[in-house]
Structure 1
Amino acid sequence: MRKRAILVSGSILLLGVLSVTSYFLFSTNSSSVPKVMNIQMEKQQEEALQKTDRDKDSTTTTDKDDDTTLTDEIKEKVRYVIDGALGLFYKENLLIVAIGDSLTQGVGDTTKNGGYVGILQNSFQDSNQNITIQNYGKRGNRSDQLLKRLDEPEIMESMKETDLVLITIGANDIMKVVKSTFMDLRYEPFEEEMVLYEVRLRKIVNNIRSINPDADVFLIGLYNPFEKYFGDIVQLNMITENWNNAILTVASEYDRVTYVPVVDLFKNSDKNLFWEDNFHPNVDGYQLIAERVFHYIKPSIEKKEEAQLQEKVNAQ
């Protein structure tokens, strides 16, 4: 319970920082922004405090009961994706490597099943697919850090063997700009960092290609983490859109490298899709990401199966 209270307090503090951040960054372009921010912040702080009260009231619930609820919850989320996975009949062993930041690690998934990666893995297992996902997500990773991690022996070995690669990277690159220029935030630093990010992302793809030229690579796009409370601020959406365009640009330069958009999943949703830090997805958000990713990787999985079957026929 103490941990929950700390997380909620941290959430309020984070959003206070984001409010000041947004004020410095965008108030010169719209005089109405600060007033809107204040209203939204008051609303969010009230909701966070209410959540704290609810958590206090629920302290009588045992850990065992919580675990049961979480297990049922993840099964419910998995069931949605299984409906699509049932169309696959992959009999050979297929390996998927998921690598990147906290979205790959699954931060915010209170079921502890590993976010969208865990939902996909559970879906494949429950539909009797011989598909394994190795998860190399690391919270806080930026593109420069991911580029270095690709040289780690364990990751290199997995990349040599993998059939598909799933990548989430970029959100922490954006947050680095926020943190480093907090007292003098302008739009230009985000654009400048985006250019460098695009260069690093291209190096990441080139590195993977040099290790395994046959793997299909999927670059999962960014969502606006401020959508819930600051979705009406055009500049925040513009930054997300421009960075996603950079990902799309890199993907379009290679064969079998695909951009997977997710920004639309978090827009105008009636359901809360964010964890209590209001930055990472909750299990509902990860469910949507898993469904979207599966939709994009399914054709590649089917092609891999067809190729392997053809090899067997030719060998006879």
Structure 2
Amino acid sequence: MFKVKNKEIQASKPIFSSSKLIKLCYFIIVFLLISCGNEKEKKSTENNTSTKEVTNTKTEENSSTNKTILCFGDSITAGYGLDDTNDAFPAILEQKIDSLGLNYTVVNSGVSGETTAGGKSRIDWVIKNKPEVFLLELGANDGLRGVQLTETKSNLQAIIDVVREKSPKTKIILAGMQLPPNMGLDYTTEFKQLFIDIAKENKIAFIPFLLKDVGGISSLNQNDGIHPNVKGHKIMANTVWEVLAPIIK
């Protein structure tokens, strides 16, 4: 028989003591809780990101679905002489529309010095946007230059014809203009009448005089006595709104 001298066989010691085992379990539990928290936070972040993406998409969709009101005119529409084009009547209309929560965007397509002939030459390009409403404000420069009234009327009619051909659903508003008396009684009278005739013949919405309560009033015009100042543009915006509001509301 074999004997083990001076040694006793002892039971093997546990790898962890009870205190260490408790600490290990506690650590595991804490780790799992932190992991779960991170996972929830991750999912929450993903959900928030997803929500933001959807919101942004909807905002872009709403922006892209806005209907357009196109103001097609000369220096009066362009806001000639104003320090800020946001003071021009198209921008004031935009502010009014936004305050009412209406789904429209106003586009200022005014060009200083524009005549009806100039408008006729660029209408094909401009009308490609197919606006919901087309405000036609041209003719004043024709009158001040003494252009033949038959030519002015022909050009305005040509513009209207292009709008109806290229964008049949567009509603047209014609802004009437008047001339100062120094242009001669016959000419100024016939000039005023041609806008009335065009509106009737085409059965379109009509603003009898865009510069109503503004034209000839020094306090509402710039130093040249022709182009409205900020106060004048506010009055013009109200004049346009009287005709525009029933169309877009």
8 Å Cα contact 2:87/2:230 also seen in 1 = no
Superposed displacement of residue 151, structure 1: 2.2
Read off the aligned partner of 1:272 and give its amino acid letter.
S
Which has more helix, going by share of residues? 1
1:30-45 matched pairs, under 5 angstroms: none
* Aligned residue among 158, 172, 175 for 1:217: 172
Question: What secondary structure does 1:208 align onto?
Answer: helix
Q: Counterparts of 2:108 and 2:188 in 1: how far apart (Å)?
A: 25
Partner of 1:196: 151
1:137-177 deviation per Cα after TM superposition (whole angstroms, max 9, x unaligned): 1111100110010122xx1321x2x1101111011112323
Given candidates 282, 286, 293, the residue that maps to 2:233 is 286
Rounded Cα–Cα distance in structure 2 between residues aligned with 1:236 and 1:294: 31
**Gapped runs of 5+ residues in structure 2?**
1-64
SS in 2 for 1:272: helix
Q: Which residue of 2 aligns with 1:251?
A: 199
Q: How many residues align?
A: 184
SS of 1:113's partner is helix
1:6-25 equivalences in 2 (<5 Å)? none
The alignment partner of 1:136 has SS state of: strand
Unaligned runs of 5+ in 1: 1-91, 178-189, 227-232, 303-316
**CA–CA distance in 1 between the matches of 2:246 and 2:74?**
25
C-alpha contact 1:110 1:283 (8 A) present in aligned 2: no
User: Partner residue of 1:40?
Assistant: none
The equivalent of 1:242 in structure 2 is 190
In the alignment, is the contact (CA less than 8 A) between 1:110 and 1:282 conserved in 2?
no
The Cα shift of 1:237 comes to 6.2
SS in 2 for 1:265: coil
Aligned counterpart, 2:142: 173
Of structures 1 and 2, the one with the larger relative CO (CA 8 A, separation 6+) is 1
Provide the C-alpha distance between the structure 2 equivalents of 1:122 and 1:237, rounded to a whole number of angstroms. Answer: 39
Tell me which of 118, 127, 133 is aligned to 1:156: 127
User: Percent identical across equivalent pairs?
Assistant: 24
Q: Which has the larger radius of gyration?
A: 2
The aligned runs of 1:1-316 (5 Å cut-off) are: 93-152=66-125, 155-158=126-129, 160=130, 162-177=131-146, 193-224=148-179, 226=180, 233=181, 236=184, 239-255=187-203, 257-262=204-209, 263-266=211-214, 269=217, 272-302=219-249
What is the CA deviation profile of residues 47-78 of structure 1, one whole-angstrom value per residue up to 9, with x for unaligned ones? xxxxxxxxxxxxxxxxxxxxxxxxxxxxxxxx
Residue in 1 that maps onto 2:55? none
- Conservation of the 8 A alpha-carbon contact between 1:104 and 1:136: yes
Structure 1 segments of 4+ aligned residues over 4 angstroms from their partners = 233-238
